[in-house]
A and B are shown apart, each in its own frame.
Chain A
Amino acid sequence: MLEWAKAHSGQMILRRNGIVLHSLRDPQREADLWVEKQKFFNLTSVETLMVLGIANGFHLRSLQLAYPNQRIIAFDSCEMQSVVETEKNKSSKMQYMFFETISELFCNEEFLKALQKSYVVLRHPSSMQSSGGVLNSLDRFLVHRSKDEFQRFCHITGLSFDLNESLLPPSEPLSVKHLEASLSSSTNFRARSIWKVLRELVK
């Protein structure tokens, strides 16, 4: 359920399922601090920043200012579509995507294209918390750290590593080590080389 609340500064802030999506005290400062925290991921060298949670967009505008060369795709559940001012202060490099189940996104060509380039997933905590699990399921797909999610990711994106999938552990989280081992007899030389480089990096 969506409601509006008024911040101390007079700005209108969304409340979803009882959770306020931005700080009522100072939403802009909160957004700037959030962007500052994301620096850890070194965002300048990836193609796309996938942001889970649109809310009132304070954090997206700060992100855009800090990373003007990066493409930003922000996701949220369908219920937000009617309340979010989709064009306000939005550059051509920013895109909003609304969905109920992630399979809806698999029909979106822009989304599929973005999956085949480097990206970083950034999470807007209050949006994640209030989305009723919608954003969390997208999160799991985007990071694909389990065998099932990884296979699903490869299937959706059409990525073919020529893996020996029987060597992937069914339950424990996937790591570079597992992938490199399951690629040892792959005919895809470039993919094999890249995973070997990654393996060397974590040794």
Chain B
Amino acid sequence: MKILLVSLLRSGDLVMITPIVRRLKELETTTSVDLLTTDSNSHLKSLLPDIDTWISFDRSAIQSSLGQAENALTEGYFRIKELIEKIDARNYDQVINLTHTTLSAHLVGAFACKDKRGANFGTDGKIHFNSMWFRYLNEVADSTSHLHFMDILYRGCGFEDYPTKPFLNESSDGVKKAAQLTSGKLEKYVLLQMTSSEEKKTWSIKQVEDFIYRFSQQTDLLGYDLILPCSTQENEKFQSWFDQLRFKLKTSRVHLIPCDVETLYSLIVNAQLVVTPDTLTKHLAAAAGTKSIELSLGSSYFAKTGIYLNGSYILQPRTKCLPCPHGGSCQQTSHICGLELRPEVVVQTAVNILLKRESKMTELAIQVGAEIQFFRVSIAKDAGWAAFPLLPFKTSDQMLNSLDQICEKLVLSHSPDALVSPLGTLSREFQIFFNQLDWAPEEKSNFLKRCRSQFLEVEKNIQQLSTKFGNSLSTSIAKQSLGRWNSLVDDAMALLIEKNVNPILVEDLATFKPGSTAFSFAGVKRISDRILRTEKKNEFRIKVLRSLENTLEVGL
């Protein structure tokens, strides 16, 4: 089977699809796995030898041709047409779109291949997904989704487990260059990534200095060096600052190292710890299996793209505007989130990890808990990625959200053919977490009671809604065939849907409310699918709740 993967986002996103490449290559039916990606990702080529053929989408050239009056208006058209023809000529058996953008859905829609997964527009002008997971990704892409993208994309490809981590191979050039740069002298070092694609995701230079100063004080005795990697362009910007800093700190243990991505990866492989606010660096660290601290600042949404490595830590300040939208600069008068994530806390976290004093981490999380949240990444083969807070939740709302997240995953994973449902693992994890809460037993019992009555009410409402919707649909179809319009959803039903099912369906609902004359079968399908999913999710919520009630009864 010849497979083409389409990933048109950034380098970090490309690293996130590497478990898919690895799994596809393991399948006996797979003959080749090719990749269509933007030209700006070509620097990762040497780290991804599992890809048989790289096909470049010349995004920047096409984009600039469109805006320049001196370029032919059809230049971009022909460039894309030629790309599509090239792809069609390779006769792929399957194309998987791992990019949830309108652009990629149109592009993949235009390929001749019949078997497409992930967003693609059909000749009917409608978007198709061929997987519940990809549909889910589309529904929640811009909302406060709570499932990790790597889990969604991997499961969307049809695998019935979850990824363990990203996979990259060190390149011989990278190994050589990293060895030259460290001159074989640096044995134990920590790597701090200072920059990212968005400035608002990073610390200010002053805070970086503060981190370096505190880190040097703490780790000089322990014999750790600190590497600050940067690109060759950044090197010009940082060199004089760095020279002054080294002079001021009187240390030779800090190193500014300009390097390319393959060298950076080899440096990360040999590092004892990586501290990073940057998406690509954290995914490189996950692939290398190097312990990491992710600094979640600005537009970084760790629940979707957090570091995929068991035991890693994520530090996020409790700033209200977090996470902010992608692109643009920080809208606040000062970079509040950056300021609130104090370097001394990160240094302390790093030292705890380096000295293997992870038991001290909860102590630290309690000390600074008012400003900074600590999460520890946990990955289970049958449950995927989760980031559990080191401090138990303080409010029942947080607990409910977490339960919802688990159950959403269960619904998406649920397959009538699956022999084993991951319910056991997930609910066990949730039980452990619930037991760790420092709530009084009475408080816990009240929480469970409240959940029970809420879930039972949803169950009742959904059953009612399901029957009403079914009846209304048959009446509506019958009347429509007689040429008369009958509104499918009355106000009471609309309220039930809005309250119990999903606010995303508001647009669909508008088409069915009294007075509307449109009728969309796709809309009907979306509503009925969602009703079924909500029913299923509630069923899982009740099951998890029962297991929690049992643990409470036996006093675990």
A interface list, Cβ under 8 A from B: 40-42, 45-47, 116-121, 123, 142-145, 150, 153, 159, 173-176, 179, 189-191, 193-198, 200-202
B442 at the interface (CB under 8 A from A): no
Residue of B nearest to A45 (CB): B58
Determine if A189 and B110 form an interchain contact, defined as CB atoms under 8 angstroms apart. yes
Please give me the 3 A-B residue pairs with the lowest Cβ-Cβ distance, nearest first: A42-B61, A200-B103, A193-B110
Determine if A198 and B60 form an interchain contact, defined as CB atoms under 8 angstroms apart. no
Determine if B103 and A41 form an interchain contact, defined as CB atoms under 8 angstroms apart. no
B359 at the interface (CB under 8 A from A): no
Nearest Cβ in chain B — how far from A199, in angstroms?
Answer: 9
Measured in the bound complex, the distance between the Cα atoms of B76 and A120 in whole Å is 10
Partner of B75, one of A118, A159, A191, A196: A118
Partner of B81, one of A119, A123, A150, A194: A194
Given contacts A123-B70, A173-B69, contact A118 B82 (CB under 8 A): yes
Nearest Cβ in chain B — how far from A173, in angstroms?
Answer: 7
Measured in the bound complex, the distance between the Cα atoms of B69 and A189 in whole Å is 27
Determine if B101 and A200 form an interchain contact, defined as CB atoms under 8 angstroms apart. yes
On chain B, the residues within 8 Å of A175 by CB distance are: 66, 73
Nearest Cβ in chain A — how far from B236, in angstroms?
Answer: 21
On chain A, the residues within 8 Å of B101 by CB distance are: 200
Determine if A201 and B103 form an interchain contact, defined as CB atoms under 8 angstroms apart. yes
Determine if B61 and A119 form an interchain contact, defined as CB atoms under 8 angstroms apart. no
On chain B, the residues within 8 Å of A191 by CB distance are: 77
Nearest Cβ in chain A — how far from B435, in angstroms?
Answer: 49
Per-position 1/0 for B223-250, Cβ under 8 A of A: 0000000000000000000000000000
7 A-B pairs in the complex with CB atoms less than 8 angstroms apart: A42-B61, A47-B78, A119-B72, A189-B110, A193-B107, A197-B103, A198-B80
Nearest Cβ in chain B — how far from A195, in angstroms?
Answer: 7
Partner of A42, one of B58, B84, B109, B123: B58
Given contacts A193-B110, A200-B103, A201-B66, contact A143 B73 (CB under 8 A): yes
On chain A, the residues within 8 Å of B65 by CB distance are: 41, 120
On chain A, the residues within 8 Å of B66 by CB distance are: 175-176, 198, 201-202
Chain B CB within 10 A, most for which of A174, A197, A201, A202: A197
On chain A, the residues within 8 Å of B69 by CB distance are: 143, 145, 173
Measured in the bound complex, the distance between the Cα atoms of B75 and A144 in whole Å is 10
Determine if A117 and B63 form an interchain contact, defined as CB atoms under 8 angstroms apart. no
Measured in the bound complex, the distance between the Cα atoms of B323 and A148 in whole Å is 49
Residue of B nearest to A149 (CB): B73
Determine if A202 and B70 form an interchain contact, defined as CB atoms under 8 angstroms apart. no
Measured in the bound complex, the distance between the Cα atoms of B61 and A119 in whole Å is 12
Partner of A197, one of B78, B80, B82: B80
Nearest Cβ in chain B — how far from A69, in angstroms?
Answer: 14
Nearest Cβ in chain A — how far from B112, in angstroms?
Answer: 9
Interface size range of chain B in the complex: 35 or more
Measured in the bound complex, the distance between the Cα atoms of B74 and A150 in whole Å is 9
Nearest Cβ in chain B — how far from A170, in angstroms?
Answer: 16
Determine if B56 and A174 form an interchain contact, defined as CB atoms under 8 angstroms apart. no
B79 at the interface (CB under 8 A from A): yes
B interface list, Cβ under 8 A from A: 56, 58-67, 69-82, 84, 101-103, 106-107, 109-110, 121, 123
On chain A, the residues within 8 Å of B70 by CB distance are: 121, 123, 143
Nearest Cβ in chain B — how far from A107, in angstroms?
Answer: 21
Given contacts A145-B69, A145-B73, A194-B81, contact A189 B58 (CB under 8 A): no
Determine if A119 and B75 form an interchain contact, defined as CB atoms under 8 angstroms apart. yes
Measured in the bound complex, the distance between the Cα atoms of B106 and A201 in whole Å is 12
Determine if A41 and B73 form an interchain contact, defined as CB atoms under 8 angstroms apart. no
Determine if A201 and B84 form an interchain contact, defined as CB atoms under 8 angstroms apart. no
Measured in the bound complex, the distance between the Cα atoms of B103 and A196 in whole Å is 7
Determine if A198 and B76 form an interchain contact, defined as CB atoms under 8 angstroms apart. yes
Measured in the bound complex, the distance between the Cα atoms of B110 and A70 in whole Å is 26
Nearest Cβ in chain A — how far from B136, in angstroms?
Answer: 22
Residue of B nearest to A122 (CB): B70
Determine if B106 and A42 form an interchain contact, defined as CB atoms under 8 angstroms apart. no
Residue of B nearest to A176 (CB): B66
Further 4 A-B residue pairs, CB within 8 A, beyond A119-B78, A193-B106: A117-B78, A143-B71, A143-B73, A196-B102
On chain A, the residues within 8 Å of B123 by CB distance are: 189
Partner of B106, one of A41, A143, A145, A197: A197
Partner of B73, one of A47, A123, A144, A196: A144
On chain A, the residues within 8 Å of B56 by CB distance are: 45
Measured in the bound complex, the distance between the Cα atoms of B72 and A159 in whole Å is 14
On chain B, the residues within 8 Å of A117 by CB distance are: 78, 82
Nearest Cβ in chain B — how far from A53, in angstroms?
Answer: 14
On chain B, the residues within 8 Å of A194 by CB distance are: 77, 80-81, 84, 106, 110
On chain A, the residues within 8 Å of B67 by CB distance are: 202
On chain A, the residues within 8 Å of B71 by CB distance are: 41, 120-121, 143
Nearest Cβ in chain A — how far from B455, in angstroms?
Answer: 41
Measured in the bound complex, the distance between the Cα atoms of B67 and A202 in whole Å is 8
Nearest Cβ in chain B — how far from A196, in angstroms?
Answer: 4
Determine if A42 and B103 form an interchain contact, defined as CB atoms under 8 angstroms apart. no
Nearest Cβ in chain B — how far from A188, in angstroms?
Answer: 11
Nearest Cβ in chain A — how far from B192, in angstroms?
Answer: 34
Nearest Cβ in chain B — how far from A42, in angstroms?
Answer: 4
Partner of A153, one of B74, B102, B110: B74
Determine if A201 and B107 form an interchain contact, defined as CB atoms under 8 angstroms apart. no
Nearest Cβ in chain A — how far from B188, in angstroms?
Answer: 43
Determine if A42 and B110 form an interchain contact, defined as CB atoms under 8 angstroms apart. no
Partner of B82, one of A42, A47, A121, A179: A47
Determine if A176 and B102 form an interchain contact, defined as CB atoms under 8 angstroms apart. no
On chain A, the residues within 8 Å of B72 by CB distance are: 119-121, 142-144
On chain B, the residues within 8 Å of A116 by CB distance are: 78
On chain B, the residues within 8 Å of A120 by CB distance are: 65, 71-72, 75
Residue of A nearest to B58 (CB): A45
Partner of A45, one of B63, B79, B110, B121: B79
Nearest Cβ in chain B — how far from A3, in angstroms?
Answer: 30
On chain B, the residues within 8 Å of A159 by CB distance are: 74
Measured in the bound complex, the distance between the Cα atoms of B109 and A191 in whole Å is 11
Measured in the bound complex, the distance between the Cα atoms of B202 and A22 in whole Å is 50
Chain B CB within 10 A, most for which of A46, A159, A174, A175: A46
Given contacts A143-B72, A193-B110, A197-B106, contact A118 B59 (CB under 8 A): no
Nearest Cβ in chain A — how far from B114, in angstroms?
Answer: 14
Measured in the bound complex, the distance between the Cα atoms of B83 and A46 in whole Å is 11
Residue of B nearest to A190 (CB): B110
Measured in the bound complex, the distance between the Cα atoms of B66 and A173 in whole Å is 12
Measured in the bound complex, the distance between the Cα atoms of B82 and A45 in whole Å is 10
Determine if B73 and A118 form an interchain contact, defined as CB atoms under 8 angstroms apart. no
Measured in the bound complex, the distance between the Cα atoms of B110 and A191 in whole Å is 9
